[in-house]
Amino acid sequence: MFIGDDIRTDIPILGEAKIHSPLTLEGVTGGGSRFISENDRILVDVETKTACAGKPPLSFEQAGPREKIYFDPSKLKCAIVTCGGLCPGLNDIIRSIVLELHHLYKVRNIYGIRHGLQGFIPEFGHGVIDLGPKSVSGIQNTGGSILGSSRGGQDINAVVDCLERMGIGILFMVGGDGTLMASKRIADEISVRNLKISVVGIPKTIDNDIFLVSRSFGFDSAVDVATLAIKGAHNEAEAYPNGIGLIKLMGRHSGFLSATAALAQPDANFVLIPEEEIHLYGKNGFLQALERRLVQRKHAVVIVAEGAGQNFFEDKEKKYDESGNIKLQDIGLFLKDKITQYFKSKEIPISLKYIDPSYIIRSLPANANDSVFCGLLGRDAVHAGMAGKTNLLISYWNNHYVHVPMAASAGRRKSLDPEGRLWQSVLETTGQNSFFKG
């Protein structure tokens, strides 16, 4: 991933941390060695060949508990909100934040905001949920979010007005790129008003495309379920003459899920991603390549990311959802129709099965790996907020948990490198280039 020269890594703070952390109690931190110093940094780029001569290497603050905290836990009120599309692990994140605040920092006023940013706007009347150990018991075993969610922008001034009225000290916002941009705007408005409210973001996206975030929660669970879809598609394709299994996976702008699932379950013969333009016809077109595959092996499995092939719809009027995102045209159904028409015109009988597991994936509970990951993200979010840090997100970067400024990540996107190892491994595993080249 290219890291631009415009990246700043300093994290704003609400004020000097003067209060001894409750984690200093004997037995809690293992003798105090668990505390993170402000001087503990993680390099942004571990490839020294890209380092600028004469300049200190760019680095992030390491996440974790601080010996001194800013907020008095006995007087603190916290709020948690989940926004955007559903994703495995949302309840794990909520549970982790609540238990860390309650048991480790002894915070007793924790509120869940209902249905995303709508929950801050009085006209919607959603109310709040009191959160504690009992209310989050076992929620990691269920999908979705106990707080609900919503899409669409809300008046940032009205959101901050609500935070003031409620006396909130720390706001935890869990969401994707749109939520992170909203988080930054909320934190900026809080700064303009000179309020002492910390805003901590926890990045969420199945697509794994958030800038300066190596891995987002829910991705591992999505790969798990996607591999089941690939197995099913492969079994269906093999069972019939000229069988074709066509699977559409998430990935609006990035092909990480499609590529990783294809490597995890290496039964796919073609993987189509947004980063690589698709051509349907001609000797190097997809349909001709698919025909070559059927001639050779009598069956084929195709994975397509939802954002792939949008070049086929350039004449369509662009429409936007409530959050301002472009509504993608359905490449899965488009390919299904084109494949059917192509082989019908050649009088070649096929058996085509189309599978779209997207909403099954989104609403399932997290798998074991994601559940552990969510716990670590939630606890580090609490440590950052208690230390008075704000306008940041908790990221996993270079095998460490770090603080990334909202401004460095929001509004930017991570893409799969067509020349990188991940995609080259997909090409080697599928062998799809051999069919495109004839």
pLDDT digits (tens, 9 = 90+) for 187-223: 999 999 999 999 999 999 999 999 999 999 999 999 9
Q: To which H or E segment does residue 19 belong? A: strand 19-20
In this structure, CATH architecture of domain 219-363+418-436: 3-Layer(aba) Sandwich (3.40)
pLDDT value of residue 245: 98
According to CATH, what is the number of the domain 19-217+365-409?
Answer: 3.40.50.450
Q: Which residues are bridge partners to 401 per DSSP?
A: 396
Residue 197 near residue 390 (C-beta atoms within 8 A): yes
**Exposed, middle or buried: residue 282 (CB in 10 Å: 0-12, 13-18, 19+)?**
exposed
The residue type of 182 is A
- Give start-end residues of each CATH 3.40.50.460 domain in the chain: 219-363+418-436
In this structure, what token pair is assigned to residue 391?
Answer: 């306008």
pLDDT value of residue 346: 95
Instruction: Give CA separation, 295 vs 299, 305, 412, in Å.
Output: 8, 25, 43
pLDDT value of residue 323: 63
Beta strand extents in 90-193 (DSSP E only): 109-113, 128-130, 170-175
Q: Which residues are bridge partners to 402 per DSSP?
A: 62, 395
pLDDT value of residue 389: 98
pLDDT value of residue 152: 78
Residue 51 neighbours by CB under 8 Å, 6+ apart: 45, 57
CA dihedral 378, 384, 385, 387 (to 10 degrees): 150
**Exposed, middle or buried: residue 37 (CB in 10 Å: 0-12, 13-18, 19+)?**
exposed
Can you list the residues of the chain whose pLDDT is less than 50?
1-2, 26
Reported as a single tens digit per residue, the pLDDT across 36-87 is 999 889 898 876 555 555 677 899 999 999 999 999 999 999 999 999 999 9
Give the count of beta carbons closer than 10 Å to the beta carbon of residue 322: 10
pLDDT value of residue 5: 58
Catalytic residues: 207
- Give start-end residues of each CATH 3.40.50.450 domain in the chain: 19-217+365-409
Instruction: Give CA separation, 163 vs 90, 111, 198, 351, 402, in Å.
Output: 22, 11, 11, 57, 26
Residue 379 neighbours by CB under 8 Å, 6+ apart: 96, 97, 100
